[in-house]
Amino acid sequence: MAAKFGTYAVMAVILIFALGVVTLRNIFHCALCLAAALIGTAVLYVAFRAEYLAAIQILLYVGAVVTLIIFAIMLTEHLAGKTVRQNNSQSPLAIAGLLGFVALLTVVILKTPWPVTQTALKAKVSVMALGEALMGTYVFPFEVISIILIAALIGTVVIAKKDAPEERL
């Protein structure tokens, strides 16, 4: 009972911070709200006994993605704490589209049977099993992702590289 209530409370806090991300007018506040919402998600993972996923969530999203966003903010004029409106004349249309999407999702979620079997309840994914799966069953997608990441890295270096200065006569 207490666990259920706590989980719902965490979910509510995540939603409040998520609302902050899209409504606050200061871009740095938005980034901090995003960090808080992501940490909240990690707390949910811990509550659902997925500690590994929680640690990875914090490491990747809070430690890397939010820092990347902060780097991006550092390079803009918004660093000075200017406020910007986050909505324009298209927001009613966007809300209508969003409501339709939410309705669709709700229908799909309610229609799908979520079977709770004994094997699913007993399944315990250890870090070792994850590693074995990555190096065994899923080794091909794993390697493909590595190649894509390397390609992205090299691509950024090529784009960011300055052209060699023309030789002066």
- Kindly list the residues in this chain that would bind another protein in the complex (CB under 8 A): 28-29, 32, 35, 39, 51-52, 55-56, 58-59, 62-64, 66-67, 70-71, 74, 79, 81, 126-127
- Shortest approach of another protein to residue 33 CB, angstroms? 11
- Shortest approach of another protein to residue 100 CB, angstroms? 36
Q: Which is closer to another protein, CB of 74 or CB of 94?
A: 74
Q: Write down how long the chain is.
A: 169
Residue with tokens 């939010």: 66
Query: Which residue, among 12, 57, 13, has the nearest Cα to 38 in the 3D structure?
Result: 57
- Shortest approach of another protein to residue 34 CB, angstroms? 11
The residues with which 30 forms a beta bridge, in sequence order, are none
Q: Which is closer to another protein, CB of 59 or CB of 98?
A: 59
- Shortest approach of another protein to residue 44 CB, angstroms? 15
- Shortest approach of another protein to residue 67 CB, angstroms? 6
Q: Which is closer to another protein, CB of 94 or CB of 143?
A: 143
In angstroms, the CA 68 to CA 71 distance is 5
Q: Which is closer to another protein, CB of 99 or CB of 125?
A: 125
Query: Which residue, among 38, 33, 39, has the nearest Cα to 17 in the 3D structure?
Result: 33
From its phi and psi, is residue 82 left (phi > 0), alpha (psi between -120 and 50) or beta?
Answer: beta
Q: Which is closer to another protein, CB of 90 or CB of 126?
A: 126
Full 3-state SS string of 38-84: HHHHHHHHHHCCCHHHHHHHHHHHHHHHHHHHHHHHHCCHHHHCCEC
